[in-house]
């Protein structure tokens, strides 16, 4: 197919379009005539598939021995915008990056024994946003779009609807139970997803006081960056972007001193980073802003860590400076090394936040590489923990109007062309397409001929059906992958706000404690009704 992409690189002419179509059709016919299989030879033998199915069946039977241990640790991976089509495409990409056809590859999340679906709608939105969904999967309460850490009684951007409508998150429940807690994200640490873990804001875009209306400030509402340090002052690990929201307005950024857009934004003149450093100086607290500083730390000598690696969001993984910027996997590894020192365990929120941004920009290659990197982080976390005492959940907040199709052959590069041209305009098209977004382009009154451009370039914007400056979210259910103690409670189809209740139940925190054994340990959970039944049985025997 690489040969095919080269020969179809033609100018915008009717004759060349016909030639392009002919070449594509002929190449497909030649592949078929040659008899060369587009899949491993062993797949022709029914024994291959039967043996694979039998191995899978034997593994499935063992799941009858459900893990009912108490979850000492909780890890929640959130792929922002990682709908099922994104999961499938990322699986293929992962395989192809490793030299395989891709379809048969397993993502780390694919290996989780329990999978369910979550309904993602917000209380006031059929197709949700990342703020209302974050409130659901972190606070256990469905909420309005654009709001974080508040119930649906709060109205977006109306400060006076905040008070009395605050809801707390599982990160807070874990902290109150004595666990270490952490947040790791590839976006700003005060972006929609992480902010629902600690903030109560009727507007997700109130990153600092600079982004807030005067009346909201006068009414006493706090910006999200400030709430990060004040609402739960001792979050053990905070890693991500968002430096500029922590510093006084116009203060030069340490990494980009001559770039005005990266300078501090705070109108109140506060230096939240320095305040944190001063507060943590006697508590083994460390602040870092680059990869070298992060990886040079000895986790045994760090109890609190604040790492802000960019003024706003981290760069896409494909564009990341591997010398100065840490990967999501590297951040997760450092976080776990610090958090697991707590004898009571930990709760860790990890967000692959730029999957969403890649899709919004119509840049599927960026989005899918972000998803593959998050899968690496999931694998690393799995190696550092045990399913015996660690409940790990992987899911998405919402989907996107992203998909791939076009009857592509086995092993076709996920960023490649469909094997046939359109029977309407006789032009080729990429397998990946968006329902709407910036990839909608018209050239000379007709659909752009993708064979005349580099459609495998990192920032290529895939063609879209409807022109929009930014592609939109999708409204379908998202997958929820789970492993570890009580992971089987995630089954079937559930409301998205069910997720943190399962995690809290498994860890005996928050409002879910009555079913737990009175003494701590890994001996497991005992439902309340079984204890009552035992008492009744003994009473009956004695009487």
Domain segments of the chain as ranges: 66-80+107-401+479-507, 403-471
- What pLDDT shows up at residue 525? 58
Nearest of 432, 435, 431, 443 to residue 464 by alpha carbon: 435
> Tens digits of per-residue pLDDT, 491-522?
999 999 999 999 999 999 998 788 886 644 44
CA 479, distance to chain mean position in Å, is 12
Cα–Cα separations (whole angstroms), residue 127 to 310, 472, 535: 30, 9, 49
Cβ-count burial 411-439 (b if 16+ within 10 Å, e if not): bbbbbbbbbebeeeeebbbbbbbbebbbb
For tokens 């404690």, what's the residue?
513
Of 50, 57, 37, 108, the C-alpha closest to 372 is 108
| 504: Cβ contacts below 8 Å, ≥ 6 apart | 140, 170, 173, 510, 511, 512
Do residues 494 and 117 lie in contact, with contact meaning Cβ atoms separated by under 8 Å?
A: yes
User: CATH number for the 66-80+107-401+479-507 domain, one of 1.20.210.10, 3.10.520.10, 1.10.8.60, 3.40.720.10?
Assistant: 3.40.720.10
Residue 483: its H or E element = strand 478-483
Lookup: tokens for 71 = 């979850």
| 210 phi, psi to nearest 5 deg | -65, -25
Dihedral sign computed on CA atoms, order 280, 296, 243, 189? negative
Q: Which two tokens stand for residue 394?
A: 């992987």
The pLDDT, as a whole number, for residue 18 is 47
Q: Kindly tell me the sign of the dihedral angle through the C-alpha atoms of 297, 302, 308, 313.
A: positive
Q: Which of 529, 437, 522 is nearest to 485 (CA)?
A: 522
Q: Which of 505, 531, 512, 518 is nearest to 70 (CA)?
A: 505
Binding-site members for Mg(2+) are 80, 191, 193, 351
Q: Which residues are annotated as a binding site for Zn(2+)?
A: 80, 356, 360, 397-398, 473
Q: Give the residue ranges of the annotated binding site.
A: 80, 191, 193, 351, 356, 360, 397-398, 473
- pLDDT profile of the chain (543 residues), mean per 10: 35 44 42 51 90 89 89 98 98 97 97 98 98 98 98 98 98 98 98 98 98 98 98 96 98 97 98 98 97 98 98 98 97 98 98 98 98 98 98 98 97 97 97 98 95 96 98 98 98 97 97 73 44 37 38
* Nearby residues of 5 by Cβ (< 8 Å), 6 or more positions away: 416, 417, 455, 456
Own/partner pairs, 287-292, CB within 8 angstroms, 24+ separation? 289/243, 289/254, 289/255, 290/255, 290/324, 290/325, 291/322, 291/323, 291/324, 291/325, 291/326, 291/330, 292/324
Show which residues are catalytic. 130
What single-letter DSSP state applies at residue 266? B
Closest CA to 145 of 167, 170, 126, 164: 126
149-152 CB contacts, 8 Å cutoff, 24+ apart: 149/195, 149/196, 149/198, 149/199, 149/200, 149/201, 150/200, 150/201, 150/202, 152/123, 152/124
3-35 pLDDT, tens per residue?
Answer: 333 333 334 444 444 444 444 444 443 344 334
Residue 273 three-state SS: helix
> What pLDDT is attached to residue 370?
98
- Identify the CA nearest to 235 among candidates 290, 195, 186: 195
Query: What angle (nearest 5°) sits at the alpha carbon of residue 118, between those of residues 112 and 120?
Result: 140
Q: Where are the beta strands (DSSP E) in 161-284?
A: 180-188, 237-241
pTM for the full predicted model: 0.89
Short-list 499, 239, 350, CA closest to 507: 499
Given a contact cutoff of 8 angstroms between Cβ atoms, the answer to whether 216 and 208 are in contact is no
pLDDT for the residue numbered 389 = 98
Residues 6+ apart with CB under 8 A from 30: none
User: 14: helix, coil or strand?
Assistant: helix
CB 165 within 8 A of CB 221: no
């Amino acid at each position: 197919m690489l040969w095919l992409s080269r020969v179809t690189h033609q100018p915008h002419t009717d004759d060349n379009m016909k030639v392009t179509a002919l070449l594509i059709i002929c190449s497909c016919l030649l592949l078929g005539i040659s008899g060369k299989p587009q899949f491993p030879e062993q797949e022709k033998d029914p024994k291959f598939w039967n043996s694979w199915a039998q191995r899978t069946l034997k593994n499935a039977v063992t799941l009858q021995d459900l893990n009912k241990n108490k979850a000492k640790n909780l890890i929640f991976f959130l792929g922002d915008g990682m709908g099922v089509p994104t999961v499938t495409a990322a699986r293929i990409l992962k395989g192809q990056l490793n030299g395989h056809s891709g379809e048969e590859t397993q993502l780390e999340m694919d290996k989780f024994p329990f999978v369910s679906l979550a309904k993602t709608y917000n209380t006031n939105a059929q197709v949700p946003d990342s703020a209302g969904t974050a409130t659901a999967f972190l606070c256990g309460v469905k909420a309005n779009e654009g709001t974080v850490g508040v119930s649906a009684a709060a109205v977006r951007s109306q400060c006076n609807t905040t008070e009395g409508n605050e809801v707390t998150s599982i990160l807070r429940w874990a902290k109150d139970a004595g666990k270490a807690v952490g947040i790791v994200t590839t976006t700003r640490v005060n972006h929609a997803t992480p902010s629902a873990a600690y903030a109560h804001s009727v507007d997700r875009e109130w990153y600092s006081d600079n982004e807030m209306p005067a009346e909201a400030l006068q009414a006493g509402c706090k910006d999200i960056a400030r709430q990060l340090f004040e609402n739960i002052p001792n979050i053990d690990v905070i890693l991500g972007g968002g430096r500029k929201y922590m510093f006084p307005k116009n203060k030069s950024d340490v990494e980009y001193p001559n770039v005005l857009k990266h300078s501090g934004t705070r109108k109140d003149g506060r230096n939240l980073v320095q305040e944190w450093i001063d507060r943590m100086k006697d508590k083994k607290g460390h602040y870092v802003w680059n990869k070298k500083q992060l990886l040079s730390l000895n986790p045994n000598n760090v109890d609190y860590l604040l790492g802000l690696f960019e003024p706003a969001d981290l760069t896409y993984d494909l564009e990341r400076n591997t010398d100065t910027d840490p990967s999501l996997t590297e951040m997760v590894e450092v976080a776990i090394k610090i958090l697991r020192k707590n004898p009571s365990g930990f709760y860790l929120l990890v967000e692959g936040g730029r999957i969403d941004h890649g899709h919004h920009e119509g840049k599927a290659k960026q989005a899918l590489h972000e998803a593959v990197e998050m899968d690496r982080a999931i694998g690393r976390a799995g190696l550092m923990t045990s399913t015996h005492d660690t409940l790990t959940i992987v899911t998405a907040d919402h989907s996107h109007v992203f998909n791939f199709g076009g009857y592509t052959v086995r092993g076709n590069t996920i960023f490649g062309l469909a094997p046939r041209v359109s029977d309407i305009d006789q032009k080729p098209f990429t397998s990946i397409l968006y329902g709407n977004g910036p990839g909608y382009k018209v050239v000379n009154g007709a659909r752009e001929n993708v064979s005349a451009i580099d459609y495998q370039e990192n920032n290529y914007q895939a063609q879209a059906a409807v022109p929009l400056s930014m592609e939109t979210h999708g409204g379908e259910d998202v997958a929820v992958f789970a492993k570890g103690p009580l992971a089987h409670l995630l089954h079937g189809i559930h409301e998205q706000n069910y997720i943190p209740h399962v995690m809290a139940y498994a860890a005996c925190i928050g409002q879910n404690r009555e079913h737990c054994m009175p003494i701590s340990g890994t001996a497991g959970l005992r439902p309340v009704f079984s204890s009552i039944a035992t008492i009744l049985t003994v009473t009956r025997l004695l009487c």
